[in-house]
Amino acid sequence: MEMRRLGKSGLEVSAIGLGCMGMNHHRGPAPDRVEMIGLARAAVERGVTFFDTAEVYGPFTNEELVGEALQPFRKGVVIATKFGYDLGPGGSGGLNSRPQRIRQAAEDSLKRLRVDAIDLFYQHRVDPDVPIEDVAGAVKDLIAEGKVKHFGLSEPGPETIRRAHAVQPVAAVQSEYSLWWRLPEADVVPTCEELGIGFVPYSPLGRGFLTGKIDETTPFGSNDNRTTLPRFTAEARRANRPVVDLLARIGDQKRATPAQIALAWLLAQRPWIVPIPGTTKLDRLEENIAAASVKLTPDDLRSIDAAASEITVAGDRYPQEEAERTRR
């Protein structure tokens, strides 16, 4: 597996990471825990060194699963987790990035992950009630104490990135980014490039849609969060099929699947971009890992961009209220 450095931070990870959220959260019936531990360990054995979780996934149970799965490999992997919600006894469940809450989240995550230090600690969402300078300062203190190694932000806007980075260098920014959600290209990716910050696309396969395995007839379980997303109505899925068809056409030329082309396209954008596709299946894990070996030429990228520019993606990625909470 190719290794990549997340910006100027010195944090080196596999070119393809593993998003662990779906191992017990948001995607229909919870998978078997023992099988998911085995899947995470299979990822390590196949060269994956970058694993993404969060305290809110579950809540808490995803961190516990990841901690158990990766404990035997601790020295060879990088675990990213996230803070920023008011969880635990008496918590509202809403946003809370007050410094005392950040410290408590870190202490609790250390225990669940079974680690001495958190490799990469993201603010999960920007909290409008807490100045980002206070957030960065709290993480800076945790870094000084050896409890956190690197600071990250999830779904920030460019001004938030700059203000946070001035207090504590940001190692990585995580945002949704794929061939059907390219808004970060406008200002977030350029900001990361300017400041030397790594970029970690989540949902790089469009929550599964870009694999080509989902169409307008695909059923979702009652607790699958895609049922709430405008982009996953039956009408939107039907309208968005041309994006998958484009990936399939390029894939036929490269002897690759649509998912592999979608991931290879992301890898080709910048050498410090590291996507974190999630899966609960070994064959999909292996398919995603193999995307790191698919090379797209400048002509391929121009062809993809030209074709993509002719496609209008239907449906917002989040309901309006949730969308307004992102990119602050």
User: Over the stretch 111-143, which tens digit does the pLDDT of each residue have?
Assistant: 999 999 999 999 999 999 999 999 999 999 999
Percent of the chain with pLDDT over 90: 91
- Residue with tokens 């694993």, as numbered in its chain: 51
For residue 232, what are the β-bridge partners?
Answer: none
- In a domain? residue 325: no
Cα atoms in the Cβ-side hemisphere of radius 13 Å centred on 155: 20
Which tokens in the block code for residue 274?
């590291």
- The three-class DSSP label of residue 238 is helix
Q: Is position 142 within any domain?
A: yes
Inside any domain, residue 299:
no
What is the pairing mode between strands 78-83 and 118-123?
Answer: parallel
Maximum Cα–Cα distance across the chain: 56
Q: What is the pLDDT of residue 211?
A: 96
In this prediction, residue 225 carries a pLDDT of: 86
Split into its structural domains, the chain has a count of 1
Q: Residue 164 maps to which CATH number?
A: 3.20.20.100
Residue 32 belongs to some domain of the structure:
yes
Question: Which residues touch 56 (CB under 8 Å, ≥6 apart)?
Answer: 82, 84, 85, 87, 124
- Please tell me the pTM assigned to this model: 0.96
Contacts of 293 by beta carbon, 8 Å cutoff, 6+ apart: none
What's the rounded mean pLDDT across residues 186-192? 98
Residues 6+ apart with CB under 8 A from 116: 110, 146
Domain that holds residue 92: 3-208+270-294
Contacts of 234 (CB under 8 A, 6+ apart): 216, 217
Q: Which of 233, 236, 250, 241 has its CA nearest to residue 297? A: 250
CB 243 within 8 A of CB 222: no
304 φ, ψ to 5°?
-65, -45
For residue 240, being part of any structural domain is answered with no
In a domain, 171, yes or no: yes
- Whether 57 is catalytic is yes
pLDDT, tens only, 63-78: 999 999 999 999 999 9
Q: Is residue 305 part of a domain?
A: no
What DSSP character marks residue 314? P
Q: Which entry of 57, 85, 122, 202 is annotated as an active-site residue?
A: 57
* pLDDT (0 to 100) of residue 223: 81
| Residue 175 forms part of a structural domain | yes
